[in-house]
């Protein structure tokens, strides 16, 4: 036996994890406190710095991009309070708002994608908004749904489904199984937006039934990565699947291994950190917001800071607000993928708002 060759092989095996996984994950984030003055928005639903709200509407799904002019553009979902919170299933629209600073206050510009409209066939609703820019084009990812029964008296049936919610037979039998991810493209953030005629990704491999909660980023080699939620095969739980493409519009190919399959989670937000040379994704689960990481975009594991934060908002006067729901985490980064702000949707009672939380990388402090 050649001892030197054997020793060399053992050294290679020992180094293999480092070669595959790269440098260890070191990202540690601290969430800043909000000014107490912003608490007024929780009561009067007027937009102020750090909290975006719309009187008469539920606000959800915040997604923000900084444009070339330095302004910050938020695309988020809203739907009418008059129909109840569960009308997000039927009457959600994507709204465009602008601010001079990432925390706002944001001023509404207009509706980017209405709940229904011409050129969309029998698809309706617009939810789970995520705005991205690749090259000279803007990409607005969102979800729609449909059902054959809505072809006749569609609005009346949508209102009825909104009133009942998840227990309505049209939701369980038609609308939910037809929830799909679409993308709208435009050369300007003011539109006009051209919506893909068909869903850009279908359930496969690690997910069944539906494709929702899309989150997209581009890797250093030009590959596009999407995290998308669907039902876990053979289970009542959900999986976060991974898909890749060579173009922001697809075709998207779902991979064999999911990003998360050991916990019922939702609402991923994904980015690539050029400094740490790692992908990161935040998500919401029962009781906390969590974070995953990957050295290559394909192989995912729990981040060093797996539990990013409990579901609460801390103010600088020492008070803590614990909403009934805190979901849809979105991380705004700088142009090198360094986390700057964490946006979340929060519901309390019969109102909801979008909240901007400052982020600080503690290893840099």
Q: What mean pLDDT comes out for the span 234-249?
A: 97
**Model confidence over 95-142: pLDDT tens digits?**
999 999 999 999 999 999 999 998 898 999 999 999 999 999 999 999
What mean pLDDT is predicted for residues 54-66?
98
Beta bridge partners of 214: none
Fold type of domain 30-364: Tachylectin-2; Chain A (2.115.10)
Q: Report the C-alpha gap between 275 and 267 in whole angstroms.
A: 25
**CA angle, 58 then 60 then 64, to 5°:** 135
Judged by DSSP in three states, 329 sits in strand
pLDDT band, residue 362 (cuts 50/70/90): confident
Q: Roughly how many angstroms between the first and final C-alpha of the chain, as a whole number?
A: 53
Residue 21 confidence (pLDDT): 53
What integer pLDDT is reported at residue 7 of this predicted model? 42
Distance of alpha carbon 267 from alpha carbon 251, whole angstroms: 22
Which residues, 6 or more positions from 91, have their beta carbon under 8 angstroms from its beta carbon? 79, 80, 83, 115, 125, 158, 162
Per-residue confidence at 365, pLDDT binned at 50, 70, 90?
low
Average pLDDT, the chain: 94
- Please state which of the ranges 16-25, 154-163, 194-203, 303-312 shows the lowest mean pLDDT: 16-25
Segment 181-224, tens digit of pLDDT: 999 999 999 999 999 999 999 999 999 999 999 999 999 999 99
| CA triple 97-130-84, angle to 5 deg | 70
The structure's pTM equals: 0.93
Domain boundaries, given as residue ranges, for the chain: 30-364
Neighbouring C-beta atoms of residue 159, cutoff 10 Å: 15
The phi, psi pair for 322, rounded to 5°, reads: -115, 100
Whether the pLDDT of residue 236 is over 60: the answer is yes
Q: DSSP 3-state assignment of 145?
A: strand
pLDDT at residue 9, rounded to an integer: 45
∠ CA 79-82-84 to the nearest 5 degrees? 70
Give the residue with greater pLDDT, 11 vs 342.
342
């Amino acid at each position: 036996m050649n001892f030197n060759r054997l020793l060399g092989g053992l050294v290679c095996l020992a180094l293999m994890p480092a070669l595959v996984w790269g440098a260890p994950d070191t990202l540690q984030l601290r969430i800043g406190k909000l000014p107490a003055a912003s608490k007024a928005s929780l009561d009067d639903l007027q937009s102020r710095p750090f909290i975006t709200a719309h009187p008469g509407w539920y606000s959800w799904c915040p997604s923000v991009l900084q444009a070339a002019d330095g302004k910050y553009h938020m695309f988020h979902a809203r739907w009418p309070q008059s129909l109840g919170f569960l009308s997000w299933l039927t009457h959600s629209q994507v709204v465009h708002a602008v601010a001079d600073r990432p925390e706002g206050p944001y001023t509404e510009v207009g509706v980017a994608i209405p709940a229904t409209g011409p050129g969309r066939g029998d698809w309706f609703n617009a939810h789970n908004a995520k705005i991205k820019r690749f090259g000279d084009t803007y990409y607005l990812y969102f979800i729609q749904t449909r059902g054959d029964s809505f072809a006749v008296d569609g609005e009346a049936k949508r209102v009825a489904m909104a009133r009942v919610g998840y227990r309505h037979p049209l939701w369980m039998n038609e609308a939910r199984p037809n929830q799909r991810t679409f993308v709208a493209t435009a050369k300007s953030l003011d539109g006009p937006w051209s919506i893909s005629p068909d869903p850009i990704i279908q359930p496969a491999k690690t997910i069944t039934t539906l494709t929702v909660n899309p989150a997209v980023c581009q890797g250093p080699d030009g590959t596009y990565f999407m995290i998308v939620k669907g039902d876990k095969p053979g289970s009542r739980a959900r999986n976060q699947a991974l898909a890749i493409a060579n173009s922001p519009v697809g075709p998207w190919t779902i991979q064999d291994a999911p990003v998360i399959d050991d916990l019922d989670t939702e609402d991923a937000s994904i980015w690539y950190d050029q400094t740490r040379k790692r992908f990161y994704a935040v998500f919401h689960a029962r009781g906390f917001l969590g974070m995953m990481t990957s050295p290559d975009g394909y192989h995912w594991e729990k981040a060093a800071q797996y539990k990013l934060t409990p579901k609460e908002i801390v103010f600088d006067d020492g008070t803590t607000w614990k909403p009934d729901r805190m979901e849809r985490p979105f991380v705004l980064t700088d142009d090198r993928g360094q986390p700057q702000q964490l946006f979340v949707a929060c519901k309390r009672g019969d109102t909801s708002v979008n909240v901007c939380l400052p982020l600080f990388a503690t290893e840099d402090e």
